[in-house]
Chains A and B, each alone.
Chain A
């Protein structure tokens, strides 16, 4: 009845290898864009979710990104400062924006 726990390893020949023990969820280094404000993104966003969660939302308006950050603060209780709120919004809109200010 013991469950065989699996571990995913990326190597040349095989994508799968089975090992008994703890589950190891892989880490993906998403190719997020570098630029002004990136440090604040790394410090505030990466605590809870991967960059994949950001870049797979699609290009969005400034208001959209700002609302997302507000949601993190209001609903998810992320301790993001007022200053970082703006820096992160600017960064996300610049690199993952659709050019529109409003939704």
Chain B
């Protein structure tokens, strides 16, 4: 209990206790916005919106979406198991590769950095439950606003290079990933993620750097899996074991949690849950406005530049449209795409507010497949509150 005594004196509870719910057939609306950041900081982080200390659950504020790269100390945090090693010896840390391989490997951090080709990919990391607070009735889980996502430059080694070195046996079919976080009870299943070999490509890497620095402790130091285009439940943190198998092993986090209805709308109603379900994997098209923020005051006839970010699962963003008349008409925003197709596309839109009073900006992204964000109200409800991608809205006051 040393940890507790250490900081107990001046703690203040963080995040919000949520408002009452109106029970209905399953509706969606704008996610909760503008939660206060905590008055305390976690290691290597500036103060963020804080839902839990154990496991650590931290959300980035809206202002982070005004930039194409999310800074490490602002990047959101989501762990599942409470027992995260608090001491990492970088000299002895290894990652083990076993199972259906020709040669079992145990690779040290040094070998990883020296013996393999080093590659970099810029990619968005987003929790499948990001924006969950948009669902009514409330879907189970942490009531995230829009800040359970970020975009970083990840540097590391291709997973395929490591598997090639180990040599896959003929009947190898599934790859299981496990990290060093543990549960309080031995019997609790580990947070293991499995991928089918067919899902692998050269963009899947084992990363040790984020934006040119070591991974922050809370983002999975010293190694994490990076699967561009996939929701973050697949990006195993503090990666320590890779096991190749021929059979899919039933796993809680893939078979029970992180699933959506297996129908076209991926939706259901609270009264009529839809079976079967499927795991969440590829992200859908989404955009979030970083500036201005809800409740800001802007001067009449001033030069406002709306800024934000858009992304999808790697098909790439074709257009971001802005509306100031509740979605009746849309105009194109300027795009900046310099970090590749898995990264945030930055958008900006210049606007001169000519009317006093409330003004709502809406942003809608469209990807190269032609998929576009629906209005918040048109999103289908699902019991896990996953994959929300409603058109973002920010309301300011013109004074």
Whether A and B are associated in the same complex: the answer reads: yes
State the A residues within 8 Å of B (CB): 1-3, 5-11, 15-16, 22-31, 47-50, 52-53, 55-60, 64, 67-68, 75-79, 98, 100, 103
Among B11, B19, B90, the residue within 8 A (CB) of A2 is B90
The answer to whether A52 touches B43, judged by C-beta atoms less than 8 angstroms apart, is: no
Q: Give complex CA distance A8, B19 in Å.
A: 30
For residues 140 through 197 of chain B, which have their beta carbon under 8 Å from a beta carbon of chain A? 140-143, 183-185, 187-189
Known: A25-B86, A98-B23. A57 touches B184 (CB 8 A): no
Chain A, Cβ-Cβ closest to B32:
A58
B-side contacts of A2, CB under 8 Å: 90
- CB of A78, distance to nearest CB on chain B (Å): 7
- Residue B40 CB within 8 A of the other chain: yes
The answer to whether A60 touches B42, judged by C-beta atoms less than 8 angstroms apart, is: no
The answer to whether A1 touches B189, judged by C-beta atoms less than 8 angstroms apart, is: no
Chain A, Cβ-Cβ closest to B136:
A58
A-side contacts of B43, CB under 8 Å: 5-8, 23-25
Q: Give complex CA distance A1, B110 in Å.
A: 10
Known: A5-B43, A49-B52, A79-B185. A10 touches B256 (CB 8 A): no
Chain A, Cβ-Cβ closest to B11:
A29
- Residue B398 CB within 8 A of the other chain: no
B-side contacts of A58, CB under 8 Å: 18, 21, 133, 138, 143
B-side contacts of A9, CB under 8 Å: 7
The answer to whether A49 touches B55, judged by C-beta atoms less than 8 angstroms apart, is: yes
B-side contacts of A67, CB under 8 Å: 140
A-side contacts of B137, CB under 8 Å: 98, 103
Known: A3-B222, A10-B40, A103-B137. A22 touches B86 (CB 8 A): yes
The answer to whether A52 touches B18, judged by C-beta atoms less than 8 angstroms apart, is: no
Q: Give complex CA distance A78, B42 in Å.
A: 28
Chain A, Cβ-Cβ closest to B253:
A75
Q: Which of B8, B47, B133, B140 has the most CB of A within 10 A?
A: B140
Q: Give complex CA distance A24, B40 in Å.
A: 13
The answer to whether B183 touches A98, judged by C-beta atoms less than 8 angstroms apart, is: no
B-side contacts of A5, CB under 8 Å: 43, 217
Known: A6-B43, A57-B141, A76-B183. A25 touches B56 (CB 8 A): yes
Known: A8-B43, A49-B54, A53-B142. A26 touches B21 (CB 8 A): no
Among A25, A59, A76, the residue within 8 A (CB) of B185 is A76
Q: Give complex CA distance A8, B41 in Å.
A: 6
- Given known contacts A7-B43, A59-B138, what 18 new A-B pairs fall within 8 Å (CB)? A3-B88, A3-B214, A8-B40, A10-B41, A25-B43, A25-B86, A26-B11, A27-B4, A27-B6, A28-B40, A47-B185, A57-B142, A59-B19, A60-B138, A76-B188, A78-B188, A98-B21, A100-B23
Q: Give complex CA distance A9, B39 in Å.
A: 11
**Contact bitstring B47-89, A, C-beta under 8 A = 1, else 0:** 1001111111100000000000000000000000010101110
The answer to whether A23 touches B18, judged by C-beta atoms less than 8 angstroms apart, is: no
The answer to whether A49 touches B82, judged by C-beta atoms less than 8 angstroms apart, is: yes
Interchain Cβ contacts under 8 Å between A and B, 9 examples? A3-B90, A3-B214, A6-B217, A10-B39, A26-B41, A28-B52, A29-B11, A52-B14, A56-B15
Q: Give complex CA distance A78, B11 in Å.
A: 28
Q: Give complex CA distance A77, B252 in Å.
A: 12
Chain A, Cβ-Cβ closest to B144:
A56
B-side contacts of A25, CB under 8 Å: 3, 42-43, 53-54, 56, 84, 86
Known: A1-B90, A64-B140. A31 touches B13 (CB 8 A): yes
The answer to whether A53 touches B20, judged by C-beta atoms less than 8 angstroms apart, is: no
B-side contacts of A10, CB under 8 Å: 7, 10-11, 39-41
Q: Give complex CA distance A27, B12 in Å.
A: 10
Among B41, B222, B270, the residue within 8 A (CB) of A16 is B41
B-side contacts of A47, CB under 8 Å: 184-185
Known: A75-B189, A75-B256. A56 touches B143 (CB 8 A): yes
The answer to whether A27 touches B3, judged by C-beta atoms less than 8 angstroms apart, is: yes
- CB of A41, distance to nearest CB on chain B (Å): 15
Q: Which are the 8 A-B pairs with shortest beta-carbon distances?
A: A77-B187, A52-B52, A58-B138, A58-B18, A28-B53, A31-B13, A56-B51, A23-B86
Chain A, Cβ-Cβ closest to B185:
A77
**Contact bitstring B27-46, A, C-beta under 8 A = 1, else 0:** 00000000000111111111
A-side contacts of B23, CB under 8 Å: 98, 100
A-side contacts of B87, CB under 8 Å: 22-23
The answer to whether B185 touches A78, judged by C-beta atoms less than 8 angstroms apart, is: yes
Chain B, Cβ-Cβ closest to A76:
B188
- Residue B369 CB within 8 A of the other chain: no
